Structure formats: C-alpha cells, structure tokens
Amino acid sequence: MSSLAQHKFPLNPHHGTATRGRFLLCNTRVYCSSTTTTTAATKLRSDAKQLIIEPQLESSKPLVVTSTTITNPPSSNDPSLQSTWSHRAWVAAGCTTVLVSLAKCISQSAILRVWFEPVLAGWIGYILADLGSGVYHWAIDNYGDGSTPVFGSQIEAFQGHHKWPWTITRRQFANNLHALARAVTFTVLPIELVCNDPSLLGFVGVCSGCIMFSQQFHAWAHGTKSRLPPLVLALQDAGVLVSRSQHAAHHKPPYNDNYCIVSGAWNEFLDEHKVFQVLEMILYFKLGVRPRSWSEPNSEWLEEVEVSSQISAQ
C-alpha cells in the first residue's frame, strides 16, 4: 500500500502546529485518505485525496450590554405618578423652611433698615438657581443609572422623562417636588437656625425656593397654553420662568443643550460657549466616561399629541 499525503510539514501531536514555521492553527480538522492498490483478497475503496487541513476560527461571543428600561409608558393613573403622604410631608417641610428663611430675612431687614443688599442677594440666588438646575440636569441626564447611590432614582426618572416627556405633566405636585424638598429641608434648616444676616437669608431663601420648585417650572414648560394658568404664561413670556419653546429645544436633536429649567437665562451662554461639551471632554479624557448624549442621539421621543391620543384611547 502506498500512501500520498500532500502536506509539507508534519504535525506536532502535542501542539497541533507545524514544526517548521511555527504557525498556529485553531480547531483544526484533518481529513486523511490514501491511495491504495487493490488485490483479489482485499478490495479497499480507493480514492485519491489530499490531506486537507482546514482551520476554523472560534467565533467570539458577542458582548451583550443589558439595561433595565421601561418598555411601556406609565398610564395617567399610574401609582408612580401619584403623591403619597410622605411626599406631601416633605414638600410641606421644604416650603416651611423656605418661607421661614424669607420671613426672617424681611424681619432682619426691617430691624436693620437695609433693603438693597437682601434684594440683590435674592436676585443673585435666583440667577444661580437657574445655573445650578442646568448643571444638575446635565449631570443626571448624561451620567449614572438607576443603581447610582443617592441619585439613582432621579437618574432613572429623568431617563423615563426623556423617553416620554409628557409624564411630567401627569405627575402630582408633591410627587414631582418631594425629592428636592427633602434636600432643601436638610440644607436650609441648619443655616436659618444659626444665621441672622438678612442678605444671606435672602440668598438662601430665594435660591433654595427656586431649586425646589424647578421641577414644577419644568412641568409647566411641557404644558400646553390652554392648560396653564394665565400668570404662569405671563411669567414664561417675560422670561421669569423657562419658556415652553426654549425647553422644547432640549428634547430635539442633538439633545445636549438648554439644560437650565428655572428661568433658562443661562442656556444661551452655556450653549453658545459649549460649556457642557467641554466638561464632557474633560471627564472623558480624565476618567474615560462617555456621556449619554454621545451615544443616544437617535432615541425616540414621543410627542405630547401622540401620547394624549393614546391616553384618551385607554
């Protein structure tokens, strides 16, 4: 019997590689047959074939990134949109804290007969509250998730809001404000207990009040003119509160501007000078963290009209 094997290098049985050249073949299939001579005693199937070494590459398993997302929008009577007694208690505590700070400011201003400094301090508090709302809004829009300590629930809520913006108009008052009211209570109460400076009290009272109610201003920015109180419409048109048209730009491509939700006074400056884009680049190069606005520019955003028709059909 003669054998024909058309392979230049013998295989190493331990490593599955050719001994000369040292190249590696993964998951090698070897098909071997021989050319045989047939005699009368034995008839073997003869088929002249070559020794074929067929390398097969192992397919790598795809990296699957899972996330917990809500597949359906909440209905108008969803419990997650309703206020609880705990929510109402925190909002009451926050409002009381802010009112006490402002009342104490007015009282001290009357005693000391100084009015310009407290008023100026209150105006500065109002301006900085708008800036603070923008920075906070940008941060939770772009970083973290539902498992992030302390801020996880707010991050998850804002992501749901971006997918279904109309939900904020269905949230009850205390449900919408309780998280910020809790933060204001713990922050402002110690200050007003130890401070009698009318300027500081004016700044703290106005700033904390605007921050606490920023979510309500935000909800009004998603409302329709026919459903908003005339006073709110007048304040929006005057630029005292963030307008509907200005905040609507935040929910349109490229979804990375108009973050401020108190008055929106800072939006033009921050967007024109690309302040948040610069911060995103710094965080990316320093920490390697990509903001969501880089990877989710094509998310589906539901319009108020579409959702309203869906709700009315339920």
Successive 10-residue mean pLDDT values, the chain, 314 residues: 44 44 44 44 44 46 39 68 94 97 96 96 98 95 87 80 80 93 96 94 97 96 92 95 91 86 96 95 94 66 43 44
How many other CB atoms sit within 10 Å of the CB of residue 112?
Answer: 14
The dihedral through the CA atoms of 7, 12, 17, 19 has a sign that is negative
- Return the bridge partners of 31, or none: 52
Residue 282: CB atoms within 10 A of its CB come to 10
Predicted local distance difference test score (pLDDT) of residue 293 = 84
Q: Show the beta-strand stretches assigned E in the chain.
A: 29-31, 52-54
Give backbone dihedrals phi and psi of 176, rounded to 5 degrees, phi first.
-80, -25
Q: What is the pLDDT of residue 130?
A: 97
**pTM of the prediction?**
0.71
Q: Which of 32, 29, 25, 20 is nearest to 54 (CA)?
A: 29
Cβ–Cβ under 8 Å, residues 21 and 9? yes
Residue 37 backbone phi and psi in degrees, to 5: -100, 135
Whole-angstrom distance, CA of residue 13 vs CA of residue 242: 75
Assigned token pair, 277: 């884009």
Confidence at residue 88, expressed as pLDDT on a 0 to 100 scale: 97
Cβ neighbour number for residue 72 with a 10 Å cutoff: 6
In residues, how long is the chain? 314
Q: Which of 99, 262, 98, 92 is nearest to 174 (CA)?
A: 92
